[in-house]
């Protein structure tokens, strides 16, 4: 209180934040980047931190381009982040047994991924997911085919009865005679064994080509007479009109009884097939 004027900036009434800025040229005082510092010490600390940050290797720093269509700037950024120099630079590992369609898709995807800026790590993750999805799809398809084949076998065994084993041998022979082993392999790959309708058609062809109405392949050198429903019905009528066979049907003690009963039973199955 001696009447002298204080030169202490902190005692100027405006506080330290105001006093340290007032020491700067007028053009700097209004800079918002400086105004955010409350003291000279805070400014110095911020400045040193900035020096530490920007003192790093420039290659470790990235700058996001401001223009979406600046291909060069974006290319530089993606290159620093891990994108290869060209689409062919991606290292891809497809699952074992990948289809030709999968391979073609991946080759086409290279260019798309490169243009989108995908890194090698991102590409590897995408291909890994593709392998996982296609693998599960393949397993599901195999399980479905196996179930369908089992259901077809069950259906045809019920319909064909004892002839099932015969047709199982004769149908592949028929197809091989018509188109070679390649045809058999192709039809198997395309699911021939899962189509009851197709197998029934082949069975009819096998019947038609059998010599003298006999279906070869019955095993043990024996053959089985195969008739159309109409033929079987006509033979049934003939059997019942045959006095000796008619008598044998009625008399269990007749030596021909079992043979005639078997003949009649077979003709009935052929004359009136299940489901017809």
138-186: pLDDT as tens digits: 889 888 888 888 898 899 999 888 888 888 888 888 888 888 888 888 8
Distance (Å, rounded) from C-alpha 232 to C-alpha 103? 56
Distance (Å, rounded) from C-alpha 14 to C-alpha 1? 20
Is the model's pLDDT at 8 over the cut of 50? Answer: no
Percent of the chain with pLDDT over 90: 13
Q: Coil, strand, or helix at residue 148?
A: helix
Mean of the pLDDT values across residues 91-109?
87
What is residue 210's predicted lDDT score, i.e. its pLDDT? Answer: 63
Distance (Å, rounded) from C-alpha 210 to C-alpha 185? 23
Whether residues 120 and 171 fall in one domain: no
Distance (Å, rounded) from C-alpha 199 to C-alpha 154? 13
The overall pTM is greater than 0.75: no
Q: Specify if 52 maps to a domain.
A: yes
Q: Specify if 2 maps to a domain.
A: no
47-98 confidence digits (pLDDT tens): 778 767 666 665 666 778 888 888 888 888 888 888 999 999 999 888 887 8
Is the model's pLDDT at 127 over the cut of 60? Answer: yes
What is residue 224's predicted lDDT score, i.e. its pLDDT? Answer: 55
Minimum mean pLDDT among 46-50, 125-129, 172-176, 271-275: which range?
271-275
In this structure, what token pair is assigned to residue 167? 């047709």
What is residue 120's predicted lDDT score, i.e. its pLDDT? Answer: 93
Domain residues for the domain of 45 are 10-60
Whether residues 199 and 176 fall in one domain: yes
SS3 content of the chain, % helix, strand, coil (to 5): 70, 0, 30
What is residue 276's predicted lDDT score, i.e. its pLDDT? Answer: 52
Whether residues 134 and 184 fall in one domain: no
Q: Specify if 67 maps to a domain.
A: no
Cβ neighbours of residue 214 closer than 8 Å, sequence gap 6 or more: 223, 224, 225, 226
How many structural domains comprise the chain?
A: 4
Minimum mean pLDDT among 47-51, 106-110, 211-215, 252-256: which range?
211-215
Mean of the pLDDT values across residues 113-139?
90
């Amino acid at each position: 209180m001696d009447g002298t004027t204080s030169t202490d900036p902190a005692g100027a009434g405006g506080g330290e934040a105001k006093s340290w800025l007032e020491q700067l040229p007028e053009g700097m005082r209004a800079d918002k980047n400086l105004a955010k510092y409350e003291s000279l010490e805070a400014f110095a600390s911020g400045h040193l931190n900035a020096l530490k940050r920007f003192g790093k290797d420039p290659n470790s720093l990235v700058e996001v381009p401001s223009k979406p269509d600046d291909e060069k700037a974006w290319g530089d950024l993606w290159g620093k982040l891990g994108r290869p120099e060209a689409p062919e630079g991606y290292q891809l590992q497809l699952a074992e047994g990948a289809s030709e369609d999968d391979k073609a898709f991946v080759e086409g995807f290279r260019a798309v991924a490169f243009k989108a800026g995908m890194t090698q790590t991102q590409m590897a993750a995408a291909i890994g997911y593709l392998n996982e999805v296609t693998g599960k799809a393949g397993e599901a398809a195999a399980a479905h085919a196996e179930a369908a084949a089992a259901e077809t076998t069950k259906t045809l065994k019920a319909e064909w009865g004892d002839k099932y084993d015969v047709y199982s041998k004769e149908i592949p022979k028929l197809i091989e005679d018509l188109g070679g082993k390649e045809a058999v392999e192709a039809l198997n790959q395309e699911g021939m064994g899962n189509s009851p309708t197709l197998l029934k058609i082949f069975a009819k062809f096998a019947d038609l080509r059998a010599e003298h109405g006999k279906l070869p392949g019955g095993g043990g050198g024996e053959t089985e007479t195969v008739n159309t429903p109409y033929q079987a019905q006509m033979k049934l009528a003939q059997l019942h009109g045959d006095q000796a066979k008619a008598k044998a049907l009625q008399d269990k003690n007749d030596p021909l009884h079992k043979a005639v009963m078997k003949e009649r039973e077979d003709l009935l199955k052929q004359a009136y097939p299940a489901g017809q």
